Structure 1
Amino acid sequence: MMTSKLDQQVTKNNLTVSRPNKRSSSCGREVERFDPIPVDLVINILSRLSQKFIVRCRCVSKLWSSIIRRPNYNQLFPIKSMDLAPPQLLFVYKVAEELLFNSSPQPHNPNMNSSLVATLRRRTSSTNFSKFSGHVRGLVCRQHAEGNYTFAVITNPITGESLTLPKLRMVGCNSERNNGKVRYYFGYDPIDKQFKVLRITWLRCGERESCGEYQVLALGTGNLSWRKIQCCTLHYPLEGNGIWINGVLYYPAGFNNGKYTVVCFDVRSEKFSFINIDNYMALKMVYPVSSTLIDYKGKLGACSFDINNNVFELWVLEDAEEHKWLKHIYQMPHQWLNETRHDLRLAGMVSSGEIVLFPDYTRDIFFIYYYNLESNIITRVRLEVPVLGKFNYCRVYTFINFVEAVTLI
């Protein structure tokens, strides 16, 4: 039977989808050809699909996949904004040779009877996994080490897509693991709607750190490569976490003179600026086991808790240009003394204003803690993770305010 190719066209600035029109072939049989369907009708149809079905549509054919992956797809086919989607808790468990991505609803006004069930979203290899570099708008960035190389992988736990960024070897270093360090930070430019990864490399010379190079990679440009950028003030990142807030990446860093700072990296302009911190605050960031940077109601915050004295400290950046921080000290409630808390870490602050703490290691059932600063009440929430039933013990990473999205990599 003779068949004809489909008349399909995707122009550079427009989109044409087709509908069947029967025509006669040379052998007398009817074959289907396609005439254009109005773009407005296609937009109307696709705009009604959920994120889950948009993901499925990409698997129909190479043509469909190429259409949905177009840079201007979100303008042609608007889907429900991820900003309107309810935030989730994302739990990543390192078990055996795998990373298990699970999510659960993020509770509002939890009480002691609250209970959550985590749903398995994705499994991926944990070979040479080193650390996580943050999550932004549905995508997660993690860091791996392989031989003399350190590289980053971007993952969407909902769609299952993963993208390994180009591997680079640190100049002047035989082994990044032994002589040098690499750190990745993940951010998003809300103006140009572009994800970017910041890569910082530096060398260790005895007890001193020697500042190195700064590079940026932009996703979705069609040219997946690292670009060198300049920084007027050489610095190296500390072990503490980085955080993205409204188009700016923040992370703690040190200078060669022994001073410390919080770096502000504008994702759009790719410019660095610095915020002064006092010696006491710097000490907390140098040893970040019980401290972290947080999004405090749209402002940069830094918090830590003292396990032995049951004290919680919070710094809020009121004026970046004036380097003005406001410090708050909270005496945590007495029942906190009765909890097993030696392995707890800070996840950050949720929109309701509560601080979330989680255990480093866990089994299939464990607890996360919500600390309400205003009422000074700590609430313990039970979390069930069915997929962990066959594992005795595992490392857990917890991310708050995670928004499930079908963002394409």
Structure 2
Amino acid sequence: MSMCGSNKPSGECPVLPVDLVINIMSKLRMKFMAKCRCISKLWSSVIRRTNNNLSFPITLPDPPPRILFTIECEGGLFFYTLPQPLNPDVKTSLAATFHHKTSGKDLYEVCQPIQGLVCRQHTDEENYTFAVISNPITGESLTLPMEKFSSKARKEKYYFGYDPIDKQFKVLRITWWSFTFKKCSSEYHVLTIGTENENLLWREVQCCTTLYPQNESGICIDGVIYYPSEMEKGKLTIVCFDVRSEKFNLVSVGQDLATKIDSSGFTLVEYKGKLGAYKRDIYRDCFELWVLEDVEQHIWSKRVYQIPLRWFKKISHVRPAGMIGSCEMVFVFDQSKTSYACPFFILYYNLESNTFTKVKLEGLLFEEFSQYSRVHAFTNYVEDVKLM
């Protein structure tokens, strides 16, 4: 059957009906759907509809979660994803899929992915600090409005969050002044990422006290951004920022955990839907997992996991990428602390059986990267087509 109607001039094809376009979209995998956005403005507008999932009559199963790798090397940022199996054995190997390369120049930090999107923070030599929202699968990116500051004492940090009720992405920006022996007041701004890229403006929000973010990354769990911060008198606390209400709350940190945080940092993870803080004890063959059991009462629980002796030295240069399910933690090698390229495998640690499993990676061309390439890895990444 001809695609061109008889009432059209010869050689000119008619525009496909919207319902037919929707039907076609419903049968495609997401990465092909992303490519279809480049066919025409009509197709792009249909896919970009806020209720596009309701428009597709055929519901496809949700894609399985994967592990997202970002590798920063020589000004470029490479995006890979890996399968995320549960309970792998020694014979398991994971084949990496390369998606695209983007500019990684002056990259400062990569935030934890949320709903298929990633927030990157960049700081260049001209004292610009800005955030970029990108989709590792489609390659689309959105640079948020930036400011240039005349003083290098002015610092900024970005946190990425998602409101599951209103289904909105928001970025929290914290600005403060830091001098050699003194820190000054801080400011807080929020930007909502709209579906049509309109009104991308920072608006100021108020916090109950002055806080200075720590170097550790934050994490968003069920609509709340958690990140460690220092108060005016040097006291450490966990800040809870509700993405929907844009309100702040503080959770006290016990002296034991505060001492460990202050000594060499920690990593925030999600543990059974709750906030967890991973801390490696470099002097003993163990690591600790602190879990925030009650936000209102500021109650933490502490779990200590012994590292088998044969693994103690092998994991001296690893850091957690996150939790899988409820009892497995994934570790990747921290290239910034090693003098040789060794990221050809990741480690699974089962909290219940106290066992490590070494999983080989295939398809990651690490031999093309320098030995000090910065590697970021995140578990539970779900591929998706997001509006940029």
The TM-score, its normalising length taken from structure 1, stands at: 0.85
Q: Which residue of 1 aligns with 2:38?
A: 59
Aligned residue identity for 1:252: P
Is 1:244 equivalent to 2:228 in the alignment? no
Q: Distance in 2 between matches of 1:359 and 1:296?
A: 21
1:23 aligns with 2:7: yes
Query: What amino acid maps onto 1:71 in structure 2?
Result: T
In structure 2, what residue type is equivalent to 1:46? M
Native 8 Å contact 2:93 2:360 kept in 1: yes
Query: What is the aligned partner in structure 2 of residue 303 from structure 1?
Result: 278
Question: Which amino acid is 1:217 matched to?
Answer: L
1:45/1:64 CA distance change after superposition, 3 Å: closer
Structure 1: how far apart are the matches of 2:328 and 2:21? Answer: 43
Letter in 1 for 2:308: P
Aligned to 1:293: 268
Greater shift, 374-383 or 239-248, is seen at: 374-383
- Deviations along 1:100-145, one digit per CA (max 9) or x if unpaired, are 1111101211222322222211111111111112210111111101
Query: Does structure 2 retain, via aligned residues, the 8 Å contact 1:239–1:288?
Result: no
* Residue range with higher mean Cα deviation, 265-274 or 217-226: 217-226
Residue 296 of structure 1 deviates from its aligned partner by: 0.4
- Whole-Å Cα distance in 2 between the matches of residues 378 and 292 of structure 1? 19
Residue identity opposite 2:345 in structure 1 = F
Higher relative contact order (CA 8 A, sep 6+): 2
TM-aligned CA distance change 1:93 to 1:22, over 3 Å: same
Q: Alpha-carbon deviation of 1:293? A: 0.9
Residue of structure 1 equivalent to 2:98: 120
With over 3 angstroms needed to count, the CA separation of the structure-2 counterparts of 1:315 and 1:79, relative to structure 1, is farther
Which residue of 251, 257, 276 corresponds with 1:275?
251
Question: TM-score scaled by structure 2?
Answer: 0.90
- How far off its partner does 1:62 sit? 2.2
User: Which residue, out of 345, 363, 366, partners 2:341?
Assistant: 363
Q: How does 1:7-406 map to 2 (within 5 A)?
A: 21-23=5-7, 37=17, 39=19, 42-77=21-56, 84-146=62-124, 147-170=126-149, 174-175=150-151, 178-220=152-194, 222-289=198-265, 291-337=266-312, 339-361=313-335, 363=341, 366-393=344-371, 394-406=373-385
- 1:271-325: CA deviations, max 9, x gaps? 1111111122123333555x21111011111121113311111111111111111
Shift, 1:30, TM fit: 9.9
How far apart are 1:252 and its partner, in Å?
0.6
Residue identity opposite 1:23 in structure 2: N
Partner of 1:13 in structure 2?
none
Partners of 2:60 and 2:221 in 1: how far apart?
18
- Give deviations 1:9-33, integer Å, cap 9, x for gaps: xxxxxxxxxx9654387xxx79776
How far has the Cα of 1:226 moved from its partner? 0.8
Q: Larger Cα Rg: Structure 1 or Structure 2?
A: 1
Gaps of at least 5 residues in structure 1 are 1-18
Unpaired runs of at least 5, structure 2 = none
Shift of 1:329: 1.5
Q: Which amino acid aligns with 1:67?
A: V
CA contact (8 A) 2:110 2:120 kept: yes
Q: CA 1:30/1:60 → structure 2, altered by over 3 Å: closer, same or farther? A: closer
> Contact between 1:365 and 1:385, CA under 8 Å: does it hold in 2?
no
1:6 counterpart residue number:
none
Q: Identify if the C-alpha distance between structure 1 residues 273 and 392 changes in structure 2 by more than 3 Å, giving closer, same or farther.
A: closer
**Cα offset for 1:251?**
0.5
Q: Distance in 2 between matches of 1:253 and 1:402?
A: 26
User: How far did residue 71 of structure 1 move?
Assistant: 3.0
SS at structure 2 position matched to 1:159: coil
Instruction: Report the AA paired with residue 48 of structure 2.
Output: R
> Compared with structure 1, are the counterparts of its residues 32 and 252 closer, same or farther at alpha carbon in structure 2 (3 Å cutoff)?
closer
Q: Report the more deviating stretch, 157-166 or 199-208.
A: 199-208
Q: Which amino acid aligns with 2:201?
A: S
Query: Would you say the 8 A contact 1:153–1:164 is kept in 2?
Result: yes
Contact 2:286–2:307 under 8 Å retained in 1 = yes
CA RMSD of superposed structures (Å): 2.4
Query: How high is the sequence identity, in percent, across the aligned residues?
Result: 49
How many equivalent residue pairs? 378
